[in-house]
Structure 1
Amino acid sequence: MLLRFAGFELDRQRATLRRPVGEAVKFRPKTLAMLVLFVTNPGRVLSKQELMDAVWPNVHVGEDSLFQCIREIRTALGDDRRQLIRVVSGSGYVFEAEVSAEPATCGVEAPSPAPRISKEAGPAVDPVSPWRQFGLRRRAMVAIVGLGVILGLVIVAMTAAPGLPLAARTPSIAVMPIATSDENGGAAAMAANMTTRLADRLAQIDNIRVVAPQSRQQADYVVSGELRKTERSWETQARMTRTATGEVVWTVPVSGVVDESDLGLQQSRLVAGVGYPLALRINALINADTQPVTPEGRSSAGSAKVVIEQATASITQTSRERFATAQSMLEKALGEDPDNVDLAIALAALQMRGVQMVWYDPAESAAAEASAESILKRALRVKPSSIPVLDAYCRFLNAINEFTESLVVCARTLNFNPWHAPALTHIGLAQLQAGRFEEALASFKQADRYDTPQVSRWTWQLNVGMTYLLMSRSEDALPWLKKSIAITPASGRSHMLLSAAYTGLNQPAEAKAAMDKAMALRPGSNLGNVLLPPKNASPVFIKATEWIVKAFLAAGLPEH
């Protein structure tokens, strides 16, 4: 049966979804299976566990896999406002669209119907005669065969010419089963699940192709690894090899503490620990440049790196003078090499830091913001699939409170690195300010499950705690805020939020002690400079912050 909803057409037999304009949507098998489950159960609340059991039968997966599938479905359906797939707090998800069914056609797919002609347009054209139909079909068949030959030659040429730059074609990658010598203690099952999840996530990256292990000799790269379980930890060593030369182009060791109480979390972090740097390396290979050499004998990439390091060093001591020096260095370097995206990212980030640190005069601040946006847009035109560029633009849009645009750009970052926890965090921040607290909580928790890179772990734990506070759930917020502070104790913001949690739990002495610590770390803080800017924020978000404002004041934060 063909299932129709909201202008879309789902053909279960052919496993395809078509948009209203007829364009086919590409889905991973698990995402398509979840969409089918939603469409065949309209109006019924499906719990998270029911969805996971149906899509991943007899396989233990974490909620991150579920959230990723739902995000992909929403993106494909254009469901930014969460009207088709709605969260039912504490229960699960419900598919709200009306669904109709009709028999699917057999054989060759029917062509799109001809455009309708209004009565004013004149009489309809007479039907084509049978002999003319035969001639048209014959010519069409010849054209199709000719096109097929041309496409075949192109594919053969690309496959047979490994010297072509990766950016000019779609590189293929074979993921080999992760090996383990330990058949006991769950290592074999863990290795098998890691292999499946790694290949599954890599397959959803837009500009690569994952092939079966049996085809590894025809693949551009082969990913392999070993897993070992000790008494206290899981130890993984992974690598990627260039098939043509046998050269190891990437390798990483990953370890995790053995915790039998949450094998799913360990599996997520081990896979992400391999997948995150692997996706970055693949992206760097695809976006690699052939850099010209300067008169001094250095590549422009090397020169850019030196300039960026010098500019960063010049603002270690934060002052307007050092900031101005750093900006001049980067502007000069980018003027000499306008297509260097590393310089573009560094300059845009510096300008946004200047805006946030009030290093610009008020009249210059808006111009600096516009300049940073222009620089990043140009970098995106130069390298539209570059993860560093997408990540920088994602952060920029969040910094200026352009949340709708940031959701699109941050989601695109995930298209090239599904384990990119910073992008998930910025998606969560945009969802938070849009008043979609349940979804923000899911994004932050998924970032925590991936934990990539680990140096940022305190930020997603902080954001989970902040989201619980906005939901008036101080008891749930407290352990997350404490974990964040245990990792990075020098953040004044963490202690301020902790004071709000203690206030919510009616512990005024603990709240005041936490605020005193925050003020010692951030002297000069007041209500005007610690709250998130309200620009473009949802009334739901603004309303939810009211009690936190009162909690801050009660714990001793100055109002002005």
Structure 2
Amino acid sequence: MDLPRAELRGPDGDAIRLRPKTFGLLNLLAGNAGRVVTKQEIMDVVWPNVHVGDDSLFQCIRELRTALGDDQRQLIKLVSGQGYLFTAAVSTDPATMGAQSPLSANVPPAKASGTSEAAPRWPSGSRRLAAVAVGCAIAVAAFVTTMVRPGVFRSTPPIIAVMPIVAADGDSEAIAMASNVTQRLADGLAKIETIRVSAPSIAALGPRPAQADFAVQGELRKSERSWDVRARMTRIATGEIVWTAPVSIMLEETDVPMQLSRLAAGIGHPLAVRIGELLDANTPIHGTSAVIEQATASIMQTSRDRFETAQAILVKALTDDPDNVDIAVSLAALQLRGIQMVWYSPADGAAARASARATLEHALRVKPDSIPALEAYCRFLSATTAFVESLVACAKTLSLDPWDGMALYHIGLAQIQLGRFEDALASFQQADRFNTPEVSRWTWLLGAGWADVLMERNEDAVPWLQRSIAITPASGRSYMLLAVAYLRLGRLDEAKATMAKGLAMRPGSTAANVRVPTNAGETGEAYRQQSEKILQQMVELGLPEG
């Protein structure tokens, strides 16, 4: 752990990327190795004077375990009801010592385990952590993101004041609903690393609205069939409305807790995207949207010729403007689609994969906090079976948009491959509670059904899979998983009929090409065993073997 450079490095010397808060948490845990650090201590040191929920802490813990190769949770242990225990041996390199940072000032330094000449002893679960140098720390508080105003760059994060959502009808039910949505929205926005949040319920922890840069407001109404919110964000200095959106949640489809989650997410998701745009210091070149639209138009009908035309348009545009993140994201997404549709030869496919990855990584160097670039990178890593890396990229996406259902979906996919089925189901269920963006909701419904089938909770799997199919029947895989669930429940006729529908949706399917791609170095044994069992049951129901 190189504190002056704010880097965690593996045994090979390569940097392992960590978000500032995650790095700060590692510094705190390593500085207190062998002692349980309470959740309150962590909150006070890593998030001083900021209102955040437990999700922010859990996300940092997940990222640290991934970075340290702590799949078995032996380096960072949860001590139930108390806090977290860092069990790795810690030694201090005097060359890295220096002044304390705000993160380390309030905690005692770690005790050296032996002399500086002695090699530290590491638990067998640690694959990447070579040494932890504790004493000085990076001033994480100095890591800031600029906020763009006409001609002005801020050196501190902008302040968003979340004003009480007003119940337009004034009855007690609407007032309670509006208050709860306001609190949930404020809690979610407080997880975004690049802003500060002030809200009525946490006024003591933040500035007054008059001191804020932007104010978020809204009005809530209840009709016979839905809750409806009209929300807006205003630049306080000028009164300019910089974002507005309507949100509607149908009453008969959800219970009250789900309505609250979806109302807050329905406001929060597009608002987070808009905040990301306002934080972006680079203005796209004139004509960028037209280039992307032209390329998209060329690929609306899926054919190899149209794919090649779209790719040529985007390659030329990116060559002309290599730092244009919007074009880079579009090109990488197109190349990933070409890989998945097998529109490349094997050699060209490998080159396209390398090109797409390099394109996205360059885009993230240009704009490290670009939500579209992070989403694309998260999706690319998941689709190309780099599951551990995808967990980190998707978690970074959630640090900028906590309601991003697609990021949660890809986290769930990685957790499935790693054999963490319960965690995966929780990720998919969280995505379902948010339901943003709605266009993608069939994916996390399918994911939840898949996780339940893997855990042999077949009765629970059926409604998830049925709901996914009801939204889009285009994926034969949904039918095939549902057929397996029916078979296990003793509903043989339904199982065979459902498998037949799946095969009709995906003609030419076999056990070989239905198998989900895995990564030998990362895929868990539990997943491999359960997947083979599911595949054999699909074959029993009529899926051709070869």
TM-score, normalising length: structure 2: 0.77
Paired residue type of 1:340: N
2:167 is matched with which residue: 177, 180, 195?
Answer: 180
The equivalences for 1:388-467 within 5 A come to 388-467=372-451
- Mapped to 1, the partners of 2:251 and 2:50 lie a distance apart of 31
Q: What CA distance in whole angstroms lies between the structure 2 residues aligned with 1:113 and 1:554?
A: 59
CA contact (8 A) 1:74 1:82 kept: no
Tell me how far 1:289 sits from its aligned partner: 2.2
Further displaced range: 373-382 or 192-201: 192-201
CA separation of 1:454 and 1:166: change in aligned 2, threshold 3 A? farther
Alignment of 1:43-192 (within 5 A): 70-75=58-63, 81=71, 83=73, 97=85, 163=150, 165=152, 169-192=156-179
Per-residue displacement from partner, 1:353-397 (whole Å, max 9, x unpaired)? 111111111112111111111000000000000100000000010
Matches within 5 A, 1:408-557: 408-536=392-520, 537-557=523-543
Aligned pairs (5 A) from 1:6-405: 6-7=33-34, 10=37, 16-17=41-42, 24-26=45-47, 70-75=58-63, 81=71, 83=73, 97=85, 163=150, 165=152, 169-212=156-199, 215-258=208-251, 262-291=255-284, 300=285, 302-405=286-389
Using the TM superposition, give the Cα deviation of residue 28 of structure 1 relative to its aligned residue in structure 2, in angstroms: 8.2
CA gap 1:540/1:287 in 2 versus in 1, 3 angstroms = same
Task: Please name the residue that 2:130 is paired with.
Answer: none
Aligned pairs, number: 466
1:435/1:539 contact within 8 Å kept: yes
Alpha-carbon contact 1:311-1:327 (below 8 Å) kept:
yes
Q: Assess if the C-alpha contact under 8 Å between 1:495 and 1:514 holds in 2.
A: yes
Q: Kindly indicate whether structure 1 or structure 2 has the higher relative contact order, using CA contacts under 8 Å at least 6 residues apart.
A: 2
Asked if the contact 1:419–1:452 (Cα under 8 Å) also holds between the matched residues in 2, the reply is yes
CA distance in 1, matches of 2:268, 2:172: 24
210-219 or 400-409, larger mean C-alpha shift: 210-219
Identify which range, 470-479 or 162-171, moves more after superposition.
162-171
Task: Looking at secondary structure, tell me which structure has more helix per residue.
Answer: 1
Secondary structure of the residue aligned to 2:167 is: coil
Residues 65-110 of structure 1: per-residue CA shift (max 9 Å, x gap): xx6653344446778536268899xxx99968489xxxxxxxx958
Q: Does structure 2 conserve the Cα–Cα contact (< 8 Å) formed by 1:86 and 1:94? A: no
Cα distance change on mapping 1:441 and 1:93 into 2, 3 Å: farther
Q: Is the 8 A contact 1:223 1:238 kept in 2?
A: yes
Q: Deviations over 1:113-161 (max 9, x none)?
A: 99999699xxxxxxxxxxxxxxxxxxxxxxxxxxxxxx9xxx9xx99x9
> Which segments of 5 or more consecutive residues in structure 1 lack a partner in the other structure?
35-66, 100-107, 121-150, 292-299
Q: Distance in 2 between matches of 1:186 and 1:349?
A: 44
**Higher alpha-carbon Rg:** 1
Rounded to whole Å, the distance in 2 between the matches of 1:517 and 1:185 is 49
User: In 2, distance between residues paired with 1:199 and 1:211?
Assistant: 8
Residue type matched to 2:298 in 1?
S
1:30–1:69 CA contact under 8 A, matched in 2? no
Point out where structure 2 has 5 or more consecutive residues left out of the alignment: 1-27, 88-104, 118-140, 201-206
Q: Distance in 2 between matches of 1:332 and 1:516?
A: 45
Measured on the aligned residues, the alpha-carbon RMSD in Å equals 3.5
Cα distance, 1:534–1:166 mapped onto 2, change above 3 Å? same
Letter in 2 for 1:173: I
Structure 2 counterpart SS, 1:446: helix
CA apart distance, 1:441: 0.3
Q: Decide whether aligned partners of structure 1 residues 532 and 6 sit closer, same or farther in structure 2, where only a CA change above 3 A counts.
A: farther
Partners of 2:81 and 2:350 lie apart in 1 by 42
Q: CA deviation at 1:29?
A: 6.6
Report % sequence identity: 52
Could you say what secondary structure the match of 1:250 adopts?
strand
Q: Match for 2:71: what amino acid? A: R
2:58 aligned partner, one-letter code: I
Whether the 8 Å contact between 2:34 and 2:85 is mirrored in structure 1 is no
Q: Which stretch of the first structure deviates more once superposed, 75-84 or 330-339?
A: 75-84
Write the letter of the residue equivalent to 2:538: F
Paired residue secondary structure (2:218): strand
Counterpart Cα distance in 2 of 1:6 and 1:478: 46
Q: Decide whether aligned partners of structure 1 residues 507 and 383 sit closer, same or farther in structure 2, where only a CA change above 3 A counts.
A: same
Structure 2 vs 1, CA of residues 27 and 390 (structure 1 numbering), >3 Å: closer, same or farther? farther
Task: Find the aligned partners of 1:551 and 1:190 in 2 and give their Cα distance.
Answer: 47
> 1-side partners of 2:149 and 2:352: how far apart?
44
Task: Please state how far the C-alpha of 1:450 moved relative to its aligned partner.
Answer: 0.2
Q: CA deviation at 1:487?
A: 1.4
Distance in 2 of aligned mates of 1:375 and 1:500: 40
- Corresponding letter in the other structure for 2:419: G
SS in 1 for 2:164: coil
Show the counterpart of 2:7. Answer: none
Q: SS state of the match for residue 239, structure 1?
A: strand
Contact map agreement 2:291 2:317 (CA 8 A) in 1: yes
Using the size of structure 1 for normalisation, the TM-score is: 0.75
User: What is the letter of the counterpart of residue 221 of structure 1?
Assistant: F
Measure, in 2, the Cα distance between the counterparts of 1:548 and 1:260: 31
Cα distance between partner residues in 1 of 2:300 and 2:107: 65
Contact 1:16 1:24 in 2 (8 A): yes
